[in-house]
Chain A
Amino acid sequence: MKSHITLVSTLALSVALALPALAADQDRGNGNGNGRGQGARAERVQDGPGNGNRGNPGRGNDNARKDDRGPPAARGNGNGPVPPQVQPRPRDRGNGADVRDADRRADARARVTVPVGRDDRPEPVVTLFRDGRVERRALIDGCPPGLAKKNNGCLPPGQARQMRREALGRYDGYWLRGDEGYRYRYDDGYMYRYDRNGGLTGWLPALGGALGLGNVWPQQYSYQPAPQYYSQYYGLNDRYSYRYADGVLYGVDPQTQAIQSVAALLTGQPWTVGQAMPQGYDVYNVPYQYRGQYADSPQSWYRYSDGYVYQVDPTTRLVQAVIQLLV
């Protein structure tokens, strides 16, 4: 197994540019989604790295309508957007990806990609983040359409009192994620977050609900076109356009906007060279076919996340390098 790996020293990395981050923005309004007759309105920045000085941001293969991709003012990264493009595949591999490609890629060389600057910039690393601004979840903050902001969240006091009295559904705890002080409820395709007083403080179309197979993408619910690297890594075919939202890569019929597949699950965790690795990667998890190349040692740890292997300093826990698993 040949490998051409450029390992970059921590010192060099300390002056390297941070990994591109996908800035996000949301606004709210009164869109009409599917299912409930009310849709999430959240315009999030679609295009990739928010670094501002490197190109090729967030190139997707999603021929998204322009009005689906967020306001232009919120989209740019300084270098101008690259039009969404379909990454041609040698053959149609059906719905999603072909894991055999991963085996083949493991035998090919892997590449360490480290942002080094404009003059010698490598292929950009694109990390898809969940929106971490709102309790770590990509909730749409605020009131759903039709419910104006009240003193107590979005609900009139009477409804809030009723909400407090109602028992939680058996499965409402499935959406609870350690953020005490909030209660979550699922209803008819959407997840809702309430505060202790029953005030509705956030909501989101749910995977398997409004974002379930066969459903039309909720109008104006924001997404990011799948970046080219993800298209390649996950072997996304050109049958669908692919959209990322809240940790999921969806395959969407470009004509009908109906969700046809869930192509991949992602963590959406931020990994940035020179910064601490995200919490929750204590266990060595490199794919088996790459373990010969990327084995933990006293000098370096390696962790897998969302199509990349990250090299980490075991002592400082700082991310040293990003390794693409594609040839």
Chain B
Amino acid sequence: MRNRLHTLMLSAGVLAVAGLSLAACDPAPEAESPGAEVASTRSDATLTAALGDQSEAAGFRDVLDNSGLATALEGVGPYTVFAPTDAALGTDADGLRDEAMSAEAAALVRAHIVPGSLGRADINAAIDASGNDQAQMRTMGDDMLTFTRDGETIVVTASDGASARLSGTEVQARNGVIQPIDAVLVKTEAAE
């Protein structure tokens, strides 16, 4: 049986993760090699449960609950969830917790999910191999996300121009991956 959490070590050159840390728990690295950087944690929990463990993604988890999609993220999947931090959701988290806003909550959540398991190393590899320094993935909301790099940070941009940077630490959950992001990938009209 796997440990509930253990740390994956990736080269520092691949990821220099800045910003908020959303690790579910203290990563408690099992082994650390010189020059390596903690880039990922692994969890036996489902995506839904692992999101609940994210100290700075409480708002998104609440939105997920309100959307009715929590059971889907407990299922087989796998999915990759780009989870906006509480700071990124801001006051919208309050509105999207409202039961009357469950459709909006579901639209937001779907816009932040892509099929399969995407680690940052995978995204970087795709950008490197693309020839035009970008890679695309389709969301469960039928939108296209474009990945680029700003320095060593991965930037993800939706078709409406909403853009976020991958932040914190990715979590490899039992049925997918959580990638914390520092902004929301859909625009509100007030933000126009």
A interface residue numbers (CB < 8 A to B): 95-103, 130, 136-137, 167-178, 186, 189, 191, 206-209, 212-213, 233-235, 247, 261-269, 278-288, 303-307
Contacts and interface: CB of A to CB of B under 8 A. Distances in A.
A305 B137 contact: no
Given A168-B189, A282-B126, A261 B143 contact: no
A168 B187 CA distance: 12
B94 to A, nearest CB: 12
B115 A178 contact: no
B2 to A, nearest CB: 10
B141 interface: yes
In which size bucket is the chain B interface? 35 or more
B64 to A, nearest CB: 11
Interface stretch (B31-39, B65-73, B163-171): B65-73
Nearest to B106: A208
A280 B136 contact: yes
A271 B111 CA distance: 21
A287 B103 contact: no
Contacts of A266: 115, 140
A284 B171 CA distance: 17
Contacts of A206: 103, 106-107
A312 to B, nearest CB: 13
A268 B140 CA distance: 9
Contact of A286 (B117, B143, B172): B117
Contact of B103 (A102, A209, A265): A209
Best-surrounded residue of B67, B113, B147 (most CB of chain A within 10 A) = B67
B155 interface: no
A265 B69 contact: yes
Contacts of B140: 247, 265-267
Given A97-B75, A173-B160, A175-B107, A284 B125 contact: yes
Contacts of A130: 142
B148 to A, nearest CB: 12
B76 A98 contact: yes
Contacts of B23: none
Given A177-B159, A283-B135, A288-B117, A171 B142 contact: no
Contacts of A264: 72, 75-77
Nearest to B108: A174
Contact of B75 (A177, A186, A234, A288): A234
Contact of A305 (B67, B71, B115): B115
